[in-house]
Amino acid sequence: MTHLGKRIRELREKQNLLLRQVAAYLEVDTALMSKIERGDRKPSKQQVINIAKFLNANEDELLTLWLADKIESTIVEEPKVAYQAMKIANKNLKR
């Protein structure tokens, strides 16, 4: 499960909402929403924004988790150089 998927599930369950309710709001099928929660499918940025609206969640929190998942899935493929690449990126972001 991804960081974002886990958080979406937590928020949804806390509000006693069904997967199909969130899926209907996003205009996707329930299977896709389930895959997003399990981390088997990555949502688009706009879908994350829409999920945040529907769940009355902090948009920045969900977008941060979405981006963290994207970064993690990219660098996991290059473990030997990932840390150094992250250091360079971090340095450039501080500017």
CATH code for the domain of 67: 1.10.260.40
Say which DSSP state 46 is in.
Answer: H
> Tokens standing for 93?
């972001």
Band of pLDDT at residue 50, cut at 50, 70 and 90: very high
Residue 7: C-alpha distances to residues 33, 62, 66, 92 (Å): 13, 8, 10, 29
Burial (CB count within 10 angstroms: exposed 0-12, middle 13-18, buried 19+), residue 43? buried
- Structural domain including 22 reads 3-94
Look over the chain and give the mean of its residue pLDDT values, rounded to a whole number.
Answer: 94
pLDDT in tens, 2-38: 999 999 999 999 999 999 999 999 999 999 999 999 9
54 pLDDT above the threshold of 90: yes
The predicted model scores a pTM of: 0.88
Indicate the pLDDT class of residue 78, thresholds 50, 70 and 90. Answer: confident
Count of domains for the chain:
1
